[in-house]
Amino acid sequence: MKLIKSFGYACQGIIIATREQLNIKIHLLAVIVVTAAGWYYHITSAEWCWVVLCFGMVLSAELFNSAIENLVDLVSPGHHHIAGKVKDIAAGAVLVTAIGAGVIALLIFKKYIIGV
C-alpha cells in the first residue's frame, strides 16, 4: 500500500508541474511531435531507445528545475541574488539537456528527412 501511495504522490507531482510550468507543456509538445515523426519515418528500435532516453532526461530535468524553483521560492520569498543564481543554474541544466536531446534528434532524423 505504501508503494502504491508513493507512485500516486509522484504522479501528483508530475500533474502539478505540468499545470504550473509552461516549459513542461512545451517539452510535452516536443515529445508528441518527435513521437509522431518517429512513427512516420519508422525509426529503428535503437533510435527509439535514444529518443525515449532523451524524453526522460529532458522531462526529468524540467521536473527537477520546477522542484528547485518552488523550494527556492519557499525559503527565499523576497529577491535574493543567490536565490536567482540557483534558479538560473537549474534552468541552465534543463537547457543543456534539451540541447543534447535536440542534437540527438538531428542525428537520428536527418537521414529520414534529407536522406543523408
Name the grid cell of 114: 534529407
Taking alpha carbons only, the member of 1, 32, 23, 116 closest to residue 9 is 1
CA dist 98 and 101 (Å) reads 5
- The predicted structure's pLDDT at residue 115: 80
Domain ranges of the chain: 2-113
* Amino acid at position 97, single letter: T
| DSSP 8-state class, residue 78 | S
- How sure is the predictor about 112, in pLDDT bands with cuts at 50, 70 and 90? very high
Give pLDDT tens digits for 1-29: 889 999 999 999 999 999 999 999 999 99
What is the CATH number that goes with domain 2-113? 1.10.287.3610
- The predicted structure's pLDDT at residue 1: 86
Compute the average pLDDT of residues 59-66. Answer: 98
Query: What is the pLDDT of the chain when averaged over all its residues?
Result: 96
